[in-house]
């Protein structure tokens, strides 16, 4: 099938880019993963940069659609936010690859400020702020304060998501699996107390 190959290219590229970064992966390496030559890849995407852009675009779209999923869960804004935040922890079947790639983009796009990632992330972040401000306790919080609070939670989630290989390396597989078991509970507790604490103004 035609678009099947395209999709496979996107899958492979997402994985490899997330593991090695843009400069760490050659288009030949991506193609050989599918037993094709790099020219097949160039035929479908035109250039390495364009392929990367399409991978990023697909990920951000999936993050947005993840949002609308959790929106239908409850009418209580607090529960909705919590559900969404927790769903960000290993959000897709593909594991942490999308999160890793977004983290790389966060690190890299200083030089490519005009690139896709920047704009794709914006609605996602603004939606998060909207969600916390919908909670009565946070209603009067300045937007900057709400953003700081939500970004801290986002960091708590994403930082851990990308750390698995390193933590396994440092502490060993057994200790890591214990940590991994403890993490979700502890995360829920953190989100609970952070949301309950409210903005500075209410303190």
Partner DNA sequence: TTCAATACTTACCGTATGGTAGGTTGTCAA
Partner DNA sequence: TTGACAACCTACCATACGGTAAGTATTGAA
Where does this chain bind DNA (CB under 7 A)? Answer: 2-3, 5, 25-29, 31, 35-40, 42-44, 47-49
Q: Look at residue 147 and give the partner it binds from a copy of itself, DNA, none, a contact being a CB closer than 5 to 8 Å depending on partner kind.
A: a copy of itself
Task: Please count the other Cβ atoms lying within 10 Å of the Cβ belonging to residue 60.
Answer: 22
Q: Residue 100, class by beta-carbon neighbours within 10 Å (0-12 exposed, 13-18 middle, 19+ buried)?
A: buried
Structure tokens at 41: 């890849």
Q: Look at residue 61 and give the partner it binds from a copy of itself, DNA, none, a contact being a CB closer than 5 to 8 Å depending on partner kind.
A: none
Structure tokens at 190: 């953190």
Distance CA 112, CA 147 (A): 24
Distance CA 14, CA 64 (A): 17
Contact 77, 172 (CB under 8 A): no
Rule CB under 8 A: is residue 109 a binding residue for a copy of itself? yes
According to CB under 8 A, which residues from 140 to 199 bind a copy of itself?
142-145, 147-149, 151-160, 162-163, 165-166, 169-171, 175, 178-179, 181-183, 185-187, 189-190, 192-194, 196-197, 199
Q: CB of 6: closest distance to a copy of itself in angstroms?
A: 26
Distance CA 187, CA 185 (A): 5
Distance CA 110, CA 122 (A): 15
Q: CB of 151: closest distance to a copy of itself in angstroms?
A: 6
Q: CB of 138: closest distance to a copy of itself in angstroms?
A: 12
Residues contributing to the site for a copy of itself (CB under 8 A): 19-24, 100, 103-111, 113, 117-119, 121-122, 125, 142-145, 147-149, 151-160, 162-163, 165-166, 169-171, 175, 178-179, 181-183, 185-187, 189-190, 192-194, 196-197, 199-200, 203
């Amino acid at each position: 099938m035609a678009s099947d190959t395209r999709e496979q290219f996107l899958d492979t590229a997402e994985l490899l880019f997330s593991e090695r970064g843009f400069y760490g992966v050659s288009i030949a390496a991506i193609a050989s993963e599918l037993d094709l030559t790099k020219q097949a890849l160039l035929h479908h995407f035109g250039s390495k940069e364009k392929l990367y852009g399409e991978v990023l675009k697909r990920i951000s779209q999936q993050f947005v659609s993840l949002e609308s999923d959790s929106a239908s869960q409850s009418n209580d804004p607090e529960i909705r936010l919590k559900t969404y935040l927790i769903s960000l922890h290993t959000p897709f079947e593909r594991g942490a690859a999308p999160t890793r790639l977004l983290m790389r983009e966060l690190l890299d796009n200083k030089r490519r400020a005009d690139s896709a990632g920047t704009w794709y992330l914006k609605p996602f972040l603004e939606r998060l702020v909207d969600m916390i401000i919908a909670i009565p306790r946070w209603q009067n919080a300045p937007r900057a304060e709400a953003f700081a609070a939500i970004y801290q939670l986002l960091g708590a989630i994403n930082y851990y998501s990308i750390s698995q290989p390193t933590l396994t390396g440092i502490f060993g597989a057994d200790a890591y699996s214990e940590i991994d078991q403890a993490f979700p509970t502890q995360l829920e507790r953190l989100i609970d107390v952070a949301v309950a604490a409210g903005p500075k103004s209410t303190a």
